[in-house]
């Protein structure tokens, strides 16, 4: 993916972006590489994280990645999992495989997995915090006002088109942040009733593709909310929102 320097004030990001307490001892990839496939893209975004937070998410991320691949394969059998690293992980981690297998059932001829919601929330929230920090040059450590996810196949056509669209608006970003640099300024001509043409400037905030078909996200900085949208494996649509007064 494109490498953009952060020209915003680096003092905005101090310490671990997840807990603020810990020292920034490690660099955490967002997204974690387990959600991608080799060869990994160059210039993967990294954010500062303390050792405890970095390690603290790894079991939930392993669960999340394994669940996703099992859902896509309709099976917990490593031989049927397309994602090599996840398949190898399931071969080694018998307890995780058992846990996923016991959450599997058949419903109207479909394989369905009962998900551990707390762990899914934890991973999606962590991903959103990483994207927000990297793109908007500000850590959002507070609990978000909304964490939601939905398989794209369960969304209506309108819901999906709305979710999948580029964000158009006049955003206010931290000057110099990556998000500011990515914004595409465009001008449209509006025609009034008497035929007068009025130019209007728009800012278009498009999807940032980390790996085609595997992972993309949008970081939207609006007047009243900060909104992170993520699409994983073109299967799962996730959204995390902080309202301005909550952070």
For binding to Zn ion (CB under 5 A), which residues are involved?
A: 16, 18-19, 22, 50, 53
> Token match 């998900």: residue?
115
Of 19 and 202, the one with the shorter C-beta distance to Zn ion is 19
Residue 243 Cβ vs Zn ion, minimum distance, rounded to whole Å: 23
Of 22 and 130, the one with the shorter C-beta distance to Zn ion is 22
Residue 55 Cβ vs Zn ion, minimum distance, rounded to whole Å: 10
Of 46 and 202, the one with the shorter C-beta distance to Zn ion is 46
Of 23 and 112, the one with the shorter C-beta distance to Zn ion is 23
Residue 49 Cβ vs Zn ion, minimum distance, rounded to whole Å: 6
Q: Is residue 205 within 8 Å of residue 187, measured between CB atoms?
A: no
The residues, any chain, with a CB within 8 Å of residue 16's CB and separated by 6 or more, are: 22, 23, 24, 48, 49, 50, 53
State the DSSP code for 223: S
State the DSSP code for 245: G
Which residues are registered as beta bridge partners of 184? 204
Q: Is residue 198 within 8 Å of residue 189, measured between CB atoms?
A: yes
Residue 22 Cβ vs Zn ion, minimum distance, rounded to whole Å: 4
Q: Distance between CA 134 and CA 189 in Å, rounded?
A: 33
Our measurement of the distance from residue 125's CA atom to the centroid of its chain's CA atoms, rounded to an integer in Å, reads 8
The residues, any chain, with a CB within 8 Å of residue 108's CB and separated by 6 or more, are: none
Residue 15 Cβ vs Zn ion, minimum distance, rounded to whole Å: 8
Of 113 and 247, the one with the shorter C-beta distance to Zn ion is 247
């Amino acid at each position: 993916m494109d490498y953009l320097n952060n020209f915003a004030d680096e003092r905005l990001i101090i310490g671990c972006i997840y807990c603020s307490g810990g020292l920034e001892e490690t660099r955490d990839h967002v997204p974690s590489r387990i959600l991608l496939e080799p060869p990994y893209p160059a210039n993967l975004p990294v954010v500062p994280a303390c050792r405890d937070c970095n390690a603290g998410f790894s079991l939930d991320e392993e669960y999340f990645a394994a669940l996703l691949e099992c859902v896509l394969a309709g099976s917990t059998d490593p031989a049927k999992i397309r994602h090599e690293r996840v398949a190898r992980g399931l071969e080694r981690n018998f307890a995780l495989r058992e846990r996923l297998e016991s959450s599997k059932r058949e419903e109207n001829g479909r394989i369905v997995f009962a998900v551990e919601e707390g762990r899914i929330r934890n991973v999606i929230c962590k991903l959103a915090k990483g994207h927000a920090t990297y793109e908007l040059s500000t850590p959002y450590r507070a609990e978000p006002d909304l964490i939601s996810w939905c398989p794209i196949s369960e969304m209506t056509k309108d819901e999906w088109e709305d979710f999948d669209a580029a964000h158009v608006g006049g955003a206010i970003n931290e000057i110099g942040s990556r998000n500011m640099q990515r914004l595409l300024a465009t001008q449209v001509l509006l025609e009034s009733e008497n035929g007068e043409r009025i130019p209007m400037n728009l800012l278009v905030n498009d999807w940032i593709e980390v790996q085609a078909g595997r992972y993309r996200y949008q970081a939207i900085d609006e007047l009243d909310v900060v909104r992170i949208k993520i699409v994983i494996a073109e299967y799962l649509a996730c959204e995390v929102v902080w309202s301005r007064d909550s952070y």
